Structure 1
Amino acid sequence: MTARMPAPVTLEGDAVRLEPLTLGHVPDLFLAGGGDEEVWRWMPAPMPHSEDELGKTAERLIGDSGHVPLAVILRETGRAVGWTTYIDTPGYADSIEIGWTWYGRAVWRSAVNTTCKILLIDHAFDKLGVNRVQLKTDILNTRSQAAIRRIGGVHEGVLRRQRRRPDGTWRDTTYFSILDDEWPAHRARLLER
């Protein structure tokens, strides 16, 4: 049995608010990271060169029943600075994935990613009742792997040639997870920081 996909939800923390992604977020999102090769380097879609292209990518994500996309709103400005999603995990019992996450460079190395992950993981364990949160990334995306490890992700392995990148090359995907009984200690450590 897989975890039931959650309904779109709004989650609030000190640094960010997560709210259901809409096309109304696209102008802010494009300003935050559209056209930035570094932001889009490891994403599963080509880098958008215009608001229209980003809107089409957002529209596909919003319309995909296997994803619950959330806009990341910086509380300080009220502007969208990225997005993140809950993703269905067929074949994994009582599990959910957090992924398809990107943030504009202006909020890298800030409290944004940690706050988002605390909100999403708390909700997954406390409200959705999953026992496992999965995270994955391109094997070449060492920055993302370090961030996943920082929040407590345990490396599970690598699926070789798991899918094609937007440029046509093969991507090896590295998998991590956090279990419900592991999370309280990781959460406490993250909040102390």
Structure 2
Amino acid sequence: MSAQTPAPVTLTGSHVRLEPLGRRHVPDLFQAAGKDEEVFRWLPWRAPQSESELAAIVEGYLANTGCEPFAVVERASGRAVGISCYYDANVREEWVEIGGTWYGRSVWRSAVNTEAKLLLLSHAFEELGMGRVMWKTDHLNERSQNAIKRLGAQYEGTFRRARQRPDGSWRNTVYFSMLAEEWPAAKQRLTERLAAG
């Protein structure tokens, strides 16, 4: 099977539904995370102080031709609580990045991120035919690094002085990946973790 470029699709689990991100999600997303400096601490923009500022962030996702963004909708409430994306897919080399991810603080340490990543990884490996999925994050963002490791991803290295933060300081970028042959074991662990609550 040759790899395919990610396209808009809805991915549904028990706890979350990932649907193509749209402007209609802005009010929910602002309620979930607007003005929360900790949510946006390691992202390339400051915490939005209004729905219009968050709308501009959403527009940035939508305008990025290398990005396929999803609104992460909590099924119990029907409300969007975060965003996650596929980035920079390369069908010839069979790889894609998962990134641009953030969630409102109310769903941190819940099933939301685990199931969202389970859905994205399943789709990437089993339907898009990818051989490699990647993540990258700020070297100071230990919460994100730990979450990526819990998925079963492997540390690959650190790209030094990779990006300037909104405050003008420079971040090093930490890279992780998972390969198709590692996916079955990771899928089993993630599925068991979700079932255990």
Residue of structure 2 in register with 1:75 after alignment: 75
1:5 positional shift:
3.3
Aligned residues: 191
2:76 counterpart letter in structure 1? E
**Quick check: 85-94 or 97-106, which moved more?**
85-94
Aligned 8 A contact 1:23 1:55 in 2: yes
Q: Deviations over 1:28-84 (max 9, x none)?
A: 000000110000001122211110000011011111110001000000000000000
1:91 positional shift:
11
Q: Distance in 1 between matches of 2:174 and 2:65?
A: 24
Matches within 5 A, 1:141-152: 141-152=141-152
Q: Which runs of 5+ in 1 are unaligned?
A: none
Aligned 8 A contact 2:4 2:129 in 1: no
Q: Distance in 1 between matches of 2:135 and 2:92?
A: 13
Q: Deviations over 1:89-145 (max 9, x none)?
A: 569921100000000000000000000000000000111111000011000000010
User: Is 1:93 the counterpart of 2:93 in the alignment?
Assistant: yes
User: Is 1:104 the counterpart of 2:104 in the alignment?
Assistant: yes
Aligned Cα root-mean-square deviation (Å): 1.4
Aligned 8 A contact 1:26 1:54 in 2: yes
SS at match of 2:6: coil
Q: Distance in 1 between matches of 2:87 and 2:45?
A: 16
Aligned 8 A contact 1:138 1:174 in 2: yes
Residue of structure 2 in register with 1:120 after alignment: 120
SS at match of 1:39: coil
Q: Deviations over 1:120-178 (max 9, x none)?
A: 00000111111000011000000010000001010000000111111111110000000
Distance 1:64 1:115, change over 3 A: same
Distance 1:104 1:142, change over 3 A: same
Residue of structure 2 in register with 1:38 after alignment: 38
Q: Which runs of 5+ in 2 are unaligned?
A: none
Aligned 8 A contact 1:69 1:86 in 2: yes
SS at match of 1:182: helix
Aligned 8 A contact 2:15 2:112 in 1: yes
Matches within 5 A, 1:1-193: 5-88=5-88, 93-193=93-193
